[in-house]
Amino acid sequence: MMDSPVVLVVEDDRDMRSALGVALRGRGYDVVEASTGSQALAKFREAPPNLMILDLGLPDIDGIDVTLRVRHEHELPIIVLSARSEEEQQVRALDAGANDFVSKPFREGELMARVRAALRYAPRAREYGEIEVGDIRMDTVRRRAFVNDVEVELTPTEFKLLHVLISEAGRVVTHQQLLTEVWGASCKNEVQYLRVYMRQLRTKVEENATRPKRIMTVLGVGYRVVP
Amino acid sequence: MSLSGLGSSAETGQRLKPYLLALACVVSSSLVALLIAPFSSLEDEVMVYLLGDVLAALRFDTKTSVLTAAGGILACDFLFIPPRMAFAWTDARKMLSLLAMLVVAVVVSGLSQRLRHQEKVARRSASATKALYELNVELSGGGDVRQLAAVTRRRLERLFGGQVLVLLGTPEGTLQGVPAELSQAELGLAEEAWGTGFGAQAELAGYAMWCPVLGISQPLAVIGLKLETRFAQKSAQGLLLSACARELGTAIERMRLAKAAHRARLDAETEWMRSSLLSAVSHDLKTPLAGIVASGTTLLEHEGKLDASASRRLVSGIVREGERLGKLLQNLLSLSRLESPAIALRKTPEAVEDIVASALARLDDLLAPRKLTVELPDDLPWVLVEPALVEQVLLNLLENALKYTPPSSSIEVSAEASAGVVKLRVADSGPGIAEHEREKVFEKFFRGTGAAMKDGGVGLGLAICRAVVRAHGGGIAVSERRGGGTLVEFTLPVMPASAVMSVEPSEVSA
């Protein structure tokens, strides 16, 4: 990883933009600012950043369009910002290729935790071999999973599900993404199917399935593994 | 009438009918009189003719009975009064009997005519009353203007046995939905009825009669009636048609008035909401704003001169007040969305434990020092809800429990399936809510006596809870927890069993 990652902040509100700039610089990131979608796309042509924080409500181009266009050519993590009542927008942005979302208003610490997680687990091809996130360890070659070094028996589907979630640790994986990756594109609307398996998986990897600490539910959107 | 060409022979038959009937009556009477003649006197034969006259008068119209009586006099004179087989007008006494015959025939005929007419009128008005009553019942079933028009059309078609067309008016004063096959002349008549408010009758084939449907201030529609037979506008038939049109007009106006009343009530409620909102919110908006501006300007003015702890205090005040404002706005927005009549919930099948877990995770920091019990049965059915809204209900209830109970007291969250719903409960062991306030706490801007002293709230949290639960078709109520404290219970609709997917426990995909 680079010493000081470049974060592109795309936000039309000047106060919000400067607050984000101060906060990110304070944490040692290099910050590039853009106030419109077209400015953001221009910054990509100059020099692609390491991470983009993108407000969905931009004056010129729809934030989801920006996500789609950037994702077409770049692999960087994208965190979208949106108002609390816009869950649908968030899901659409995630399905368009965004990696995470933060609802406004947010506390500085909340956003910075997401930025850190996004940069740490930058998107890459599904990892094989040994993966370790928090106190979960997976051996994808021998198909074995451990929680706190105690092996848990997982069925092949549960293993696949956990593998996808762990590979995206810290980020939200939408229902559709999970269904497509584990069961195939033809099942992408069978959310209940996913829930049944998630219930089973949680009883195996969580101490208390009713108050999960490892695999968190993001209501109406999907799941997130706590890194 | 254009239809008259259809049956000239039939009309000739109609014209000759009284004569033929009278002839038949006279012939029958004469035959009977001839039969009894060998055994009786002249008086008896006269009686036979009289009997024939009375029967004819009872059965047929006046013209026929007078003709019968006249024919009877001639026949009787010719056949029985001497000199027989010749007309003789000499015997005054006999002539008196014959004259009496004529008078009796006319009187009886008149009486029976009147009786028959009355019966006919009564029967017709009874059937018209029945038809109107049935139309009225059907129209009071409600529906929009189109449905009312369709009901009227079906009724009229059955009543008159013809073809009926109802053209509705637009607010701009034109007729809408005019079928293409309607000729220019017919449309002209329809517009005449529409414009003048009087019926318009055509002397041509097609829609022969147009009747306007009048409202309180303007015409609402026109009814076109096409019949195979002649339509008499001024007869009972015409009256019935215009009565039906009046029924339709009344029904449409009634529906409009009901709508207007509903709208007026909504407006009044909105107005009340707005004024009480302004008075309640202006204070709650101004206070934190004043704090933010004061702290901010202090920081600007005394930049570099304040010690670290003082500026920290000011800044954290700004953050706290800002968050309070944000929350207030969020509450107001979700309440206004939930209360808009056109709210469309984005319902999805959800697992109750997911929603509960998500709400608990959000309040993790605040709940950590508390004793929290969560009891969710393993076999809870799926619920069909908008998850973020239900989470908001749980968050509001849990925040209330955290805010209004001592830090050492416990909080319980539990759920239970019961007859088509899932019951969710949030209970605390705090001071509880007084019985007379248990219904009021769900009203907007109501703050319980126990809450009045605490800062931060405006009395919207439970109003939002109730709005969410009601939007999902459930109920919410406060009661006393066994052993003391507050228990809030609300219900959510279970997803219909047909929509629940079964998942094989055995794995198929690898």
In angstroms, the CA A92 to CA A95 distance is 5
In a domain, A45, yes or no: yes
| Residue B331: C-alpha distances to residues B84, B326, B395 (Å) | 115, 9, 12
pLDDT in tens, B119-129: 888 887 788 78
A149 and A114 in a single domain? The answer is no
In angstroms, the CA B421 to CA B276 distance is 35
A111 and A22 in a single domain? The answer is yes
Which phi and psi angles does A225 have, rounded to 5°?
A: -90, 130
Chain B residues closer than 8 Å to A199 by CB: 351, 353
A26 and A89 in a single domain? The answer is yes
In a domain, A1, yes or no: no
DSSP, collapsed to helix, strand or coil, labels residue A141 as: coil
Instruction: Tokens 């979208």: give the residue.
Output: A80
- pLDDT level of residue A39 (50, 70, 90 thresholds): very high
Q: Residue B449 has what pLDDT?
A: 67
In a domain, A30, yes or no: yes
Percentage of chain A exceeding pLDDT 90: 42
Interface of B with A in 386-405 (CB under 8 A): 386-388, 391
A19 and A92 in a single domain? The answer is yes
In angstroms, the CA B197 to CA B225 distance is 16
Tell whether B498 is within 8 A of chain A (Cβ): no
End of a domain among A120, A145, A175? Answer: A120
In angstroms, the CA B252 to CA B148 distance is 7
DSSP, collapsed to helix, strand or coil, labels residue B306 as: coil
pLDDT in tens, B178-188: 887 778 878 88
- Contact yes or no for B354 and A155 at CB 8 A: no
A93 and A156 in a single domain? The answer is no
Tell whether B333 is within 8 A of chain A (Cβ): yes
**Nearest in space to A126 (alpha carbons), one of A75, A67, A180, A167:** A167
Query: What is the four-CA torsion angle of B34, B35, B41, B46, rounded to 10 degrees?
Result: -60
In angstroms, the CA B405 to CA B384 distance is 32
Number of domains present in the structure of chain A = 2
A83 and A149 in a single domain? The answer is no
A10 and A104 in a single domain? The answer is yes
Residue A93 contacts residue A102 (beta carbons within 8 Å): no
In a domain, A95, yes or no: yes
A199 and A219 in a single domain? The answer is yes
In a domain, A47, yes or no: yes
End of a domain among A101, A120, A139? Answer: A120
Tell whether B357 is within 8 A of chain A (Cβ): yes
In a domain, A159, yes or no: yes
Q: Residue B510 has what pLDDT?
A: 36
A148 and A66 in a single domain? The answer is no
The tens place of each residue's pLDDT in chain B, 510 residues long, gives: 344 444 456 677 778 888 888 888 889 888 888 888 888 887 788 888 888 888 888 888 778 888 888 888 888 888 887 777 777 766 777 777 778 877 887 888 788 888 888 888 888 778 878 888 888 888 887 778 888 888 888 888 888 878 888 888 887 778 887 887 778 878 888 888 888 878 777 665 567 788 888 888 888 888 888 877 776 666 777 788 888 888 888 888 888 888 889 898 888 877 776 776 677 667 777 878 888 998 999 998 888 888 888 889 999 989 888 888 888 888 888 888 887 777 778 888 888 988 999 999 888 888 888 999 999 888 888 899 988 889 999 999 999 899 888 888 899 999 999 888 999 999 998 888 888 888 888 887 777 766 555 555 677 888 889 989 988 989 999 998 888 889 999 999 998 765 555 444 334 343
In angstroms, the CA B429 to CA B407 distance is 11
pLDDT in tens, A192-215: 788 888 988 999 999 888 788 899
- Contact yes or no for B349 and A192 at CB 8 A: yes
Is the whole model's pTM more than 0.80, yes or no?
no
A111 and A156 in a single domain? The answer is no
Distance from CA of A87 to the nearest CA of B (A): 8
pLDDT over 80 at A85, yes or no: no
B122-127 long-range contacts, CB within 8 A, separation 24+: B124/B236, B125/B236
**Nearest in space to A138 (alpha carbons), one of B510, A207, A149:** A149
Distance from CA of A101 to the nearest CA of B (A): 16
Instruction: Tokens 């399936």: give the residue.
Output: B417
| Residue A196: C-alpha distances to residues A96, A186, B311, B354 (Å) | 26, 18, 51, 11
A135 and A116 in a single domain? The answer is no
Q: Residue B110 has what pLDDT?
A: 82
Secondary structure of B158-175 in HEC code, one letter for each residue:
HHHCCEEEEEEECCCCCE
In angstroms, the CA B288 to CA B294 distance is 10
CATH number at residue A159: 1.10.10.10
In a domain, A203, yes or no: yes
Query: What is the four-CA torsion angle of B232, B233, B234, B236, rounded to 10 degrees?
Result: 70
Chain A contacts to B (CB-CB under 8 A): 84-85, 87-88, 105, 155-157, 182-183, 190-193, 195-197, 199, 209-212, 216-220
A145 and A212 in a single domain? The answer is yes
End of a domain among A92, A120, A148? Answer: A120
β-partners of residue A52 are A8, A78
Rounded to two decimals, the ipTM of the complex is: 0.77
Domain coverage including residue A53: 6-120
CATH number at residue A88: 3.40.50.2300
Chain B residues closer than 8 Å to A220 by CB: 346, 348, 386-388
In a domain, A125, yes or no: no
Q: Nearest residue on chain B to A214, judged by CA atoms?
A: B361
Q: Which residues of B198-235 are buried (b: 16+ CB within 10 A; e: fewer)?
A: ebbbbeeeebbbbbbbbbeeebbbbbbbbbeeebebee
Nearest by CB to residue A192, choosing from B334, B355, B501, is: B501
In angstroms, the CA B395 to CA A187 distance is 33
Residue B207 contacts residue B191 (beta carbons within 8 Å): no
